[in-house]
Structure 1
Amino acid sequence: MIGVLPDLPPNVAGFRASGEVTKDDFEKVIFPEVKKHREQTGKLNFVFYVDTPLKNFSIGAWIRDIWLGMKQFASWRKIAIISDVEKIRNFTDNISFLLPGEYRGVSVDQLEAAIRWAAMEDQEPDPEDAIPEHIERLLPPQERGKSTVTSAQVGVSKEADARYIFERTTNRLFNVNEWTDHCGALTAGFQLTDDEGKPLMGRAAEGDYIRVDIPGPSMSEGRGYDWVRIEKIQQPAVIAPGAISLMQVRPCPNPQIKDTTITAHFLQEHATSTFIIEWGDKKVSATVYRRNEVPNTEHPGVADKVRNVVVGTLGAMGLSKIQWKALVQGLLERE
């Protein structure tokens, strides 16, 4: 059984699970309450008090729980899971950096503190953390889903050194087939292809495709891979302080399948990854700006939907925070 926690702040949805938990508990209690909060605030602050063994959740309840995550992916803000089971709390804390929003596993005696945390409004961002206006103009607007920024930089004191690092990093960015070589522990594989999905050698160009090999189950439409198309490339006419090199990619249909419009990627076609190499003031930076990330659950079959939600939440967020970090560092720093 699931009930609504009473006397909560207006911007927090809270529930307590006790006894046997069924599909109907999600559909009759959680879903309407979540919908109400989503319509009122556009975001979800969620407190879930698990006062029953997990074995008491029926299969139908687990399916509805997964579906809740799929439908509200872009809305999660603060999520507190309340339990005296240490494994549940540890699992919640360990996945917090992979999923949208902030997650905390909290013991029962800290329930009130968890509610206060969930209700706390975000502070204004530090102006120093804001994306510079000249970079923002190069990026698509953030309109839905998740956005992330992953960056690395190298300090330089001599202009000659900065020029060398900028040119080397730019060359590495456009040599997609060598990305894995530069990234050490990066586990995804990348292959540049033409508009028929045939492998290409050399530097990337607008209109080329990148075949991404992510470990684990693959999407059937991609025939074992996820696919993106290079939609924009920008290089400076003059290499000097302030120079920028850019490549932007977007999920797309598998070019090996003619006349298909189904996006062969774990994210929807609205998502973009924009790679920018910049020669700034006494530094050269490599950054990937990922925007409008929503798992691709619109067209695929049931198996692909589950795969895309898992990869889109765990894989995409983990890749952007860990493996994309390895990419920008590898492009910039490794000899």
Structure 2
Amino acid sequence: MISKVAVRTPFIMNMWERHPKVWRFLIDLGIYLKFKTLNIDKIPNKIVLPSTNVLYVNSEENRGRALLISNGITQKRLSYFWSTSVKEFSPDLIIDVGVNYGECLFSTTYSDRTIIYGIEANHHLIQYIIKSREVHPNKTQITIINAFASDKDDEQKEFFIDKHWSGTSSASYMPSHNMIEKVPVRTITIDSIIKKDLTNGTVLFKVDVEGYEAFVLKGMFELFERCESAIGFIEFNSEYIEKSGIKIEAFFSFLQKYFTIYMYIEDDILVKADDVHYEDLKMIFGTDYIHTDLLVVTDEENMGVFNFDIQAKA
């Protein structure tokens, strides 16, 4: 299985961008070993997830094929966080920014009172997301929006769709290989999307937008200020964040205004990252380039529901 977790080191990331044909070969090999064929007509376009919910994918696209190989689970830590949060907190409002195929959003079943939003900028993925929604038990509660979540509404943003691996499509950088489609995408803030659904209850969110996370979060500040409690999962890629024009210190300063921050060291080991400085992170990870995930909470007591080893900052 080739997962996002597996491409977190600079060497592997560079290989991914510079040698896409090698990665395509490896994925094709995985498809052949699993389905005993490379005939596209004989390769399925849907996955039955562990929850029994169904996920539709493009079986010709690399990330869709990787999901087929891995039975729909390519990010173990996110899967555990999401399922546990839904079960333990029964959130009033759920927001998934950077849906991709929806393996997070459609991975579980929700309370019948939960309001759910999924935002995805890559227009090629929307048809698969809609098909998955239509067979989901909570389909009437799920709104899917094809837009680019940011800190401003109704702007045109150049978005780079990575046709090699949909999960690395971004507005913050353009991969070095030539399998890129540049498209204009309208921007929208989460606060404007959920204006009528702003809640003083519990919010669960995920933000995975390849370096543009800071802008998405700034477009959610009204929600953070109003909700009773919030818990979120945020991808952190120091290189991509800085390519988007945001300093790492400024990014953490914004988060610290609303949350207690925890950073994944391994899938079940987190370090509490309050008052974090970039130099601290470099020491913890032993590198100048940091690609991991953050877990943020407004109420530290909520961390008790997870089976994590939480360490103090070194």
Please confirm whether the aligned pair reaches a TM-score higher than 0.5, indicating the same fold.
no
Larger of the two Rg values belongs to structure: 1
TM-score when normalising by structure 2: 0.26
